[in-house]
A = this chain, B = another copy of it.
Amino acid sequence: MRDSELPAIRRLPLFRTMSEENFMSLTRAAYVQTFPPQVLLIEEGAQPDFLHIVMEGAVELFAGWHRRETTMAIVRPVSTFILAACIKDAPYLMSARTLEKTRIILLPVGDLNSIFRRDPDFAMATVEELASCYRRVVRQSKDLKLRSTRERLAAYVLRKSADAGGTASLVLPVEKRLLASFLGMTPESLSRAMRSLKDDGAKIDGQRVIITDRAALEALARPSILIDGPDFERAEEPDTSSATP
């Protein structure tokens, strides 16, 4: 592994708080590999062997059932994936494949679990991480069950815009085919929904989306902090101003 990569990993919430000693021993045991696009990294149903960390590129998490397939998440650097399966030592519920040339760090579950068992700070970080993962999926479920396809797409565009710092113009980070699957619709529906957003404040040009009327788009998407994030919410700071009951 490149030493230059260690700080980026260390900065992840999952590893930030653990002891230096344990961090070193964990990363010393790690494997690193670079994969071309479209490589199957993980097959659902298999037993976990490594906690994966994406350093460069992108990974699709997807699930299949009887000829059908759906995209569950897209993982970009720097983040870990399939932590829950590793912790439970239970079969993967999702498959994973590279979308681009992708550099992955593999931490053997054995090392992970043994350190996890003796480093309380790491255990604590794991709890935080799993709680975040859980809440992310709950949000996705709500998005899926409560919004129509157009509303879902509009909300997605607003989220990405927010991620990019609130810019009006943004580039879709993935193929539309994938985005459609992630959003729970067909590519055809996505294409049409996207075009139909012109009347609601967003137009598309290739991979670029331009928000022409944020108010209108928000009127459609009705973004909610309880669905659309942000992912890392915290309790409100205590109000330091004078009492306002």
Contact surface of A with B, Cβ cutoff 8 Å: 44-45, 47, 63-66, 68, 70, 72, 83-85, 87-91, 93-94, 116-117, 120, 123-124, 126-128, 130-135, 137-142, 144-147, 184, 222, 224-227, 233-236
A144 and B145 contacting across the interface, CB-CB below 8 Å: yes
A68 to B145: give the CA distance in the assembly, Å. Answer: 9
Q: Taking chain A's interface residues, is the majority helix, strand, or loop, or is none over half, making it mixed?
A: helix
Q: Chain B residues near A225: list those with CB within 8 A.
A: 45, 91
Q: How many copies altogether?
A: 2
B88 touches A131 (CB 8 A): yes
Contact among B91, B146, B235 for A226, CB-based, below 8 A:
B91
- Least CB separation from A89: chain B residue: B235
A151 shortest CB reach to chain B, Å? 9
CB-based contact B138/A66 at 8 Å: no
Chain A to chain B contacts (Cβ below 8 Å), 20 pairs = A44-B226, A63-B145, A63-B146, A64-B146, A65-B147, A65-B226, A70-B145, A72-B141, A84-B134, A85-B135, A87-B128, A88-B131, A88-B135, A88-B233, A90-B235, A93-B138, A93-B142, A120-B120, A140-B141, A141-B141
